[in-house]
Structure 1
């Protein structure tokens, strides 16, 4: 027997697939940041490559979401990110991060454009581009990270964004690296 309007069976509901779009950090800066994440945030933080999240969520139509990410990347231009000093989301969320001092506006524009399509969802807090150093570490480690890294500065050029999904092991993995200003599909 078929379903009528207003009725849906479990097989009719599309399953949501996690999706993230991030700015990956180039070497050798990536190595330095990973070491800091290990020191202040522990093994769990170090296993996740340092990155700046542009959008994270889920989609029921991966292909449409990926096409949208391609279109946003194609319209964007390369820009410089300068990380400087530390900040925290405590007491709301136990996170210590490096501030995106230069390039925050470009990150915000990418974030807004990515959410203006099939990845649209409600966000609990305003978008603040940052690079997490310690997450859910003990307070003394987060205090130490915030103090010791408060004068650190590093810069790099962003000329691509990474489209990530969850792999068969349950870990985030890069599906595509998309050049900014590149062709759409």
Structure 2
């Protein structure tokens, strides 16, 4: 992989699910963090010197970067539509910081509410045509500093200790990693309503 994307900046090496060819699409599935929280967390990430601050939008990973066979897009999209149609919107409360150190040089904003919903959702997303193992146990979070100096990680952990954001998750999105190293939105999948 030439650069990290919206789903591999948190200590998951991403390509562990790679069983395809190098020119097969690399995809990931995320819950996008809405505004105004996204712009604020991006600014903080840049403040901590994280080089991915402007190229990786704040998100909660559901499927880390996974190599997909060329003919796998249609089955994956159909699967994700089915997963989304079976879910209802849920609330997420982001509050405070934690770290994966010393295992991985990551500081993140924690989920105080919505953890079990994210766990069930990611398990459903990773089933079917994208079944794969993870490098680490699933832990929903929003990365705010990764692969920066220890002092910057310390600052991130302290600066956002009391940070909080609440929003309703109404769906998730599929992204594809381009040959230019940029992650692009492929499709959004809305949960059922009513």
The answer (yes or no) to whether the contact 1:59–1:118 under 8 Å persists in 2 is: no
- What's the secondary structure of 1:34's corresponding residue? helix
Query: Which deviates more from structure 2 when the two are superposed, residues 154-163 or residues 40-49?
Result: 40-49
Residue equivalent to 2:161: 150
CA positional deviation for 1:79: 0.6
Q: Which runs of 5+ in 2 are unaligned?
A: 1-18
Alpha-carbon distance in 1 for matches of 2:68, 2:20:
9
Quick one: distance in 2 between partners of 1:164 and 1:89? Answer: 25
Larger Rg: 1
> Any residues of structure 2 matched to 1:171-182 within 5 Å, and which?
171-181=182-192
The answer to whether the 8 A contact 2:48-2:155 is kept is: yes
Q: Residue 59 of structure 1 corresponds to which residue in structure 2?
A: 68
TM value normalised by structure 1: 0.86
Show structure 1 runs of 5+ residues with no match.
1-12
Instruction: Provide the C-alpha distance between the structure 2 equivalents of 1:17 and 1:92, rounded to a whole number of angstroms.
Output: 29
1:20 lines up with 2:41 in the alignment: no
Which shifted more, 55-64 or 92-101? 55-64
Contact kept, 8 Å, 2:29 with 2:173, in 1: the verdict is yes
Number of aligned positions between the proteins: 170
Q: How does 1:76-87 map to 2 (within 5 A)?
A: 76-87=87-98
Moved more, 59-68 or 108-117: 59-68
Residue of structure 1 equivalent to 2:180: 169
Moved over 6 A (4+): none
Cα deviation for residue 171 of structure 1 reads 1.2
State the distance in 2 between where 1:120 and 1:18 align: 14
Structure-2 separation of matches of 1:14 and 1:36? 36
1:47 Cα offset (Å): 2.3
